[in-house]
Chain A
Amino acid sequence: MKELRDLARTLLTDGSVQVVIGWEDGPAGARPAFVTKAEDADRLIFDPRCVHNLAAYLSPRRPHVGRLGKAAVVVKGCDARAVAALLRESQIQREDVVIIGVRCGGVLADPSRRVDLTAENVSERCSGCEAREPGLADHLVGEMPPPPPGERSRETRIEELEAMSAAERSAFWQAEFSRCVRCNACRQVCPLCTCDRCVADKTQPQWIEQSAHERGIFAWQLTRALHHAGRCADCGECARVCPAGIPLGLLNRQAARIVERRFGYRATDDPSIPAPIGAFRSDDGQEFIR
């Protein structure tokens, strides 16, 4: 923690950045912090409550953050993949951001309480994480904590779903989607939802119905998954903020599995590796095309 605070203080003092985006203690657990003065650097923390993917604040969709000046952003391994995706898509320029990587041992599913990580309370995406040390970082701080507890539960659940009949899967997703209130929290929190105008907000024509009806919900959830296939950093923020507890992590993870199986692409924090959608190979599989 001292290493992180000292680094932030140095960066702010020597003027290399005007704001450090990190986490601080708040009344309801950790929360994003925007540190603009060197003397405030001691507010910064990093512990398993620091769930938020701060790469979302680099998005050009948030100009009020950009107006604070050049930013340094603190990222976990998964967050670094989101920064890489923003760089890959030219949403930000590499020289416009300083990346402070933290070594991570997993985060809590519920960040409001300060408790030790266990297999029960760890965020579902953390078990089996392979990106605990960000590869895309100007500065790397902290000791490597022990690996996150728990099993890769999402893989098991996806395989269970895949083994079901289409009717059973349909019933499962209808039950999950029926709780969706179309609040769009999953979109607002996503670092890679960078469109100026979301297709879900368009009304002429209205491609995605805006009421919380199975039609609009299905169209929205499928479109969200498709638009993030091969881009998603798997930071788990959409699933965390969903007030209805819809297992969006399963959709994201399944899209990632499809992209890996078909195109050999895995989410990476190397921005020089091109995204799979928007590219093609002449020998791409087409067993589903008649």
Chain B
Amino acid sequence: MGNDKDGAFQPRMVAFVCNWCTYTGADLAGTSRLTMEPNVRIVRLPCSGRIDPLFVLKAFERGVDGVIVSGCHPGDCHYTSGNLHARRRFAVFHDMLDFLGVEPDRLTFSWVSASEGLKWREIVDDAVERVRALGPFSRFDIHSARGKAEFASEPGRQA
């Protein structure tokens, strides 16, 4: 989370992408000189099957406001079926996060191929837009599990 020089909220976001499709697609977006929202930092992994839900949780814990997870389209996986295994895990992860009260718009799943630089720009711009509308992710900001109010009520403390 951060604010720009005008004081407007600028989400900090991270994208976990597979090396073979989405990273190459994002690279294509760059070499094609496409301009897009600058809020997203990319982490490159060998396959979407390598993306553990804990990566996403750790990113949220460390202060990002939104996450993009992206890999090859079904059928295109460099390792044949890594993205298909991932799809089942992501489906449960997506639904459980929703059940635990994390807005689904904070986490974007997508398939972006190596030739889809334009789609990557759409995904990024759209994800940043939706997270910007949601505002900062503040669930982990509380200083202790006892809760912010209780913490703030202690003598000499400020929330």
A contacts, CB < 8 Å to B = 161-162, 166-174, 177-178, 180, 199, 207-209, 212-215, 217-219, 221-223, 225-226, 229-230, 251, 254-255, 258-259, 262-263, 276-282, 284-286, 288-290
Contact = CB atoms under 8 A, between A and B. Distances in A.
Q: Size band of the B side of the interface?
A: 35 or more
Contacts of A207: 54, 58
A159 to B, nearest CB: 11
B133 interface: no
A286 B134 CA distance: 24
**B interface SS class:** helix
A290 B96 contact: no
Interface of B: 53-54, 57-58, 61, 74-75, 81, 84-85, 87-104, 108-111, 123, 126, 139-140, 142, 144-147
A255 B140 CA distance: 23
Contact of B57 (A167, A222, A255, A289): A222
Given A218-B140, A289-B111, A173 B100 contact: yes
A177 B111 contact: no
B140 A277 contact: no
Contacts of B103: 166
A226 B96 contact: yes
Nearest to B92: A229
Contact of A280 (B85, B101, B110, B126): B85
B109 A214 contact: no
Given A226-B53, A288-B104, A258 B87 contact: no
B145 A212 contact: yes
Given A215-B140, A258-B95, A258-B96, A263 B88 contact: yes
A126 to B, nearest CB: 23
Nearest to B85: A280
Contact of B98 (A166, A215, A290): A166
A200 to B, nearest CB: 10
Contacts of A279: 88
A178 B146 contact: yes
Given A170-B139, A218-B140, A225-B96, A290 B54 contact: no
B101 A284 contact: no
Contact of A284 (B53, B91, B147): B91
A262 B101 contact: no
A217 B145 contact: yes
A254 B96 contact: yes
Given A218-B100, A286-B91, A288-B91, 10 more contacts: A166-B102, A171-B101, A177-B145, A212-B145, A222-B96, A251-B96, A251-B99, A259-B92, A289-B109, A290-B123
A280 B81 contact: yes
